[in-house]
Structure 1
Amino acid sequence: MNPISLSVARRALAWLVLSSGGALAASSAHTGELLFGLFWVVLAAALLGTLASKVGIPAVVGQVLAGILIGPSLLNLVRPGDFFLTLAELGAIFLLFMVGLETRFKELLAVGREALLVAVLGIALPLGLGFGFGLWQGQGNVSALFVGTALVATSVGITAKVLQELGVLDARFAQVILGAAVIDDILGLTLLAVVSSLGAGRTLSAVQVGLTLALSVGFVALVLAVGIPLVRRFQNRLSNLSLSRAFNVAVVVGLGIAALSTVAGLAPIIGAFLAGMVLAEIKDEVEFESKVHAIEAFLAPVFFVVVGLQLDVGALSQPTVIVAGLILTVLAVAGKLLGGILGAWSLGRHEATLVGLGMVPRGEVGLIVASLGLGVGIIGERVYAEVLLMVLLTTVLAPLVLRAVMRRRVPARVLH
């Protein structure tokens, strides 16, 4: 090789080394940033969750407040980017998967009538109240309808965690809440699709709405009708697997059904809950629950912290927004509480009240609905801030009230 070619080759090699080094350095810096962020999330969740539990407050409330503390609104240590949103989604999936594992389908079927009534009334009443509130503010029909849709949303993950902490997931009122949450998700997401289409200027025929609803209902029925007999058929083979292999099978089933539920137009947490219910039929014979619980114990707190990260407290600085947001919160609580009490009245006044309170938290579901409305221009910044305050208050206060009422009104035999 002549000197000129050798010089060019050396320069090219040096450029490649420097470029690779720069790319690796940038990648390492990004990884380090994510790891530091995860460190703050896990640390804040552990500290404030433990502190909340010690003073008699649900751990989830401490974890949501932890997210607000370390998020952009206050200390700005962590921002809710794609990484944390994805991790939070996984946390919600494993939380509902674990809840499903603690729920037998026959127990849920026994409260089907009450669950259906709670879900339908818990959608109709908040929707009507929110729509009326929007019209009272002078909003257009579509914008007012979207406010009503935001009030329809229910974050069952928050309530489920409180019920799990207290060990009452097998209580009858808890089964009604979980059953209503599945129906609520089916009807609520169908309603959201309709309102979003109206906001985008598209028309949605009754046939399209019916098909969307039928697909969601059909998916739930198919998973339960096929899944339960299938796991019972392979029960003997699964019981011979080692703990790690049985755990792998359980996770594949949980994630697979969660993914398929999105194809049917449902939230992945509903698919995870259904998968858990299917596997609950054989959990006494096949050991995998302890390992699933270990993952859920790590990821679920991340989910609640990220709910707090997404709350923009700075948007709530205007007095008019605060007043309107408080009114909206009262309507949001009244709609779900009344729907739960009326729908579950056959359980007795005390347990029906618990059902109503269990349906109140809006959490990340309310945030998603509000963000969607703002993004497509259905609602403006002011209405978005009002909905944000409603989400914050129902998310933080509902678990507190639920736990207090549960300890005071439900007999000890139900709580243990």
Structure 2
Amino acid sequence: MTRSKMFPIQLLFCVLLGGTAQAAGTSEVSDVLIQLFFLVLAASVGSWLFSRLGLPSVVGQVAAGVLIGPSVLNAVQDSLTLEALAEIGAIFLMFMVGLETRFKDLLNVGKEALLVAVLGIFFPMVGGYFFGLMQGHSNIESLFLATTLVATSVGITAKVLQEIGVLDRKFAQIILGAAVIDDILGLTILAVVSGLGKGGDISLLGVLTTLGLSVGFVVAVLALGIPLLRRFQKQLRNVPLASSFSLAVVVGLGLAALSGLAGLAPIIGAFLAGMVLSEVKDEYEFESKVHALEDFLAPVFFAMVGVKLELGLLGSPVVLMAGGVLSVLAVLSKWVGGFLGALSQGRKDAMLVGVGMVPRGEVGLIVAGIGLSYGIIQKEVFAQVLLMVMVTTLLAPIVLKVLVRPEARS
């Protein structure tokens, strides 16, 4: 980056490091480090500020990225290096989500959670697809737009339920179980749609091939990975790696890479790797270290989502109107699916389940980011999805806290 292209705050930072001569001739590595410094600093401040306000920290990280990005301060620009770091952040985020998800827990969530998950995918998928077609988008872009509506944020929902002290309630267990199933099915749908997006056309053979590859990959990893890990658990202690943490990282990155080579999204492999390793995480000391790595890299991903957003697009009446309609569709489709799926628990608890399934959070951002990086969706659609993610992520925790009676929080 030359002096003429540097934002004044970057010049000041370079001066503090060693003078204007260094600023004028900043190396590429130094340039990346400076931008990474601003990115991590802004994400940390945004996360802290939004947490203090009682709002989801991931939204604060995205807002921080918008602030320091080209749309406002221009302190950080999109680059291949930062994009790679952001993708690694998404990989470790989903790896950590997988570590917190045991396969046996999915088998015990009950028929209500499964029904909530399926209906919570069906209604958003259908609604999002036809909404995309009504806007004049192609089949692929409409499918990807629908895919962004599918997932439920496990992290945000779990945090809210924990804060109000109802994690042991039946409706809360249904929400968490359905959210996890949503993520698995949603990631499978993401694999299918992103695979089709790379090919360019939709055909029955293409859908069946990609679906078969996706389902086959998921089944193979879970059906073979967990038994093999249990069988050779003792031998793994003799593997010549520095620590169990190193082995965990190797497995996570390896399955993420294998998933990418298979034509699927790398985050699918990372999520499955986490699920496999969750079976032995209590016997090895690596979860806290993986969490520390994710805690550093994941904010880079969310901040880069904000950096990519052209703020001027949100000022467009077309984007605002379409994003508003998409937000309403996202809220209603998830709420209806959750409500109908949990009606056996009574109308009040069914309503709570519906609200708890609404936030898209980090999973919605990951899907939108992948769609933009693959060139499947345009920046205008990305802005609409980002608006939808922020609305659902902010709205659901507030409504959930209001609906849960104080006496039910004990």
TM-score interval, normalised by the smaller of the two chains: 0.7 to 0.9
Residues 185 and 266 of structure 1 are in contact (CA less than 8 Å); yes or no, is this contact kept in structure 2? no
Residues 60 and 162 of structure 1 are in contact (CA less than 8 Å); yes or no, is this contact kept in structure 2? no
Alignment counterpart, residue 388 of structure 1, candidates 382, 398, 404: 382
Question: Residue deviations 1:280-309, cap 9 Å, x none?
Answer: 111111111121111111111111111111
Q: Summarize the alignment of residues 213-252 of structure 1 with structure 2, pairs less than 5 Å apart.
A: 213-238=211-236, 244-252=242-250
CA 1:337–1:268: 2 relative to 1, 3 Å? farther
Alpha-carbon distance in 1 for matches of 2:300, 2:139: 33
Residues 327 and 392 of structure 2 are in contact (CA less than 8 Å); yes or no, is this contact kept in structure 1? no
2:68 paired with 1:66: no
2:46 paired with 1:48: yes
Residues 259 and 271 of structure 1 are in contact (CA less than 8 Å); yes or no, is this contact kept in structure 2? yes
Question: Aligned residue for 2:393?
Answer: 399
Q: Summarize the alignment of residues 104-253 of structure 1 with structure 2, pairs less than 5 Å apart.
A: 104-111=102-109, 113=111, 117-118=115-116, 120-134=118-132, 136-137=134-135, 139=136, 143=138, 146-154=141-149, 159-163=153-157, 165=159, 172=173, 173-194=175-196, 200=200, 202=201, 204=203, 206-238=204-236, 244-253=242-251
2:346 paired with 1:352: no
Match of 2:243, SS? helix
Amino acid of the residue matched to residue 178 of structure 2?
V
Match of 2:357, SS? helix
- Identical counterparts, % of pairs: 46
Residues 196 and 210 of structure 2 are in contact (CA less than 8 Å); yes or no, is this contact kept in structure 1? no
Number of residue pairs aligned between Structure 1 and Structure 2? 377
Question: Aligned residue for 1:98?
Answer: 96
Shift, 1:37, TM fit: 0.4
Match of 2:32, SS? helix
CA 1:127–1:175: 2 relative to 1, 3 Å? closer
Alignment counterpart, residue 362 of structure 1, candidates 351, 361, 364: 364
CA 1:254–1:196: 2 relative to 1, 3 Å? closer
Match of 2:309, SS? coil
Shift, 1:106, TM fit: 0.5
Residues 94 and 295 of structure 1 are in contact (CA less than 8 Å); yes or no, is this contact kept in structure 2? yes
Shift, 1:221, TM fit: 0.9
Alpha-carbon distance in 2 for matches of 1:100, 1:62: 24
Alpha-carbon distance in 2 for matches of 1:250, 1:40: 29
Residues 363 and 394 of structure 1 are in contact (CA less than 8 Å); yes or no, is this contact kept in structure 2? no
Alpha-carbon distance in 2 for matches of 1:120, 1:313: 35
Shift, 1:35, TM fit: 0.5
Residues 362 and 394 of structure 1 are in contact (CA less than 8 Å); yes or no, is this contact kept in structure 2? no
Residues 345 and 352 of structure 1 are in contact (CA less than 8 Å); yes or no, is this contact kept in structure 2? no
Question: Aligned residue for 1:9?
Answer: none
Larger Rg: 1
CA 1:188–1:283: 2 relative to 1, 3 Å? closer
Higher mean C-alpha deviation, range 264-273 or range 147-156? 147-156
Shift, 1:323, TM fit: 2.2
Alpha-carbon distance in 2 for matches of 1:181, 1:40: 31
Using the size of structure 2 for normalisation, the TM-score is 0.79
Using the size of structure 1 for normalisation, the TM-score is 0.78
CA 1:193–1:345: 2 relative to 1, 3 Å? farther
Alpha-carbon distance in 1 for matches of 2:209, 2:282: 38
CA 1:61–1:131: 2 relative to 1, 3 Å? closer
Residues 326 and 389 of structure 1 are in contact (CA less than 8 Å); yes or no, is this contact kept in structure 2? no
Question: Residue deviations 1:328-377, cap 9 Å, x none?
Answer: 332233233333433455564145224421447632422443565xx57x
CA 1:292–1:367: 2 relative to 1, 3 Å? closer
Residues 93 and 258 of structure 1 are in contact (CA less than 8 Å); yes or no, is this contact kept in structure 2? yes
Shift, 1:76, TM fit: 0.9
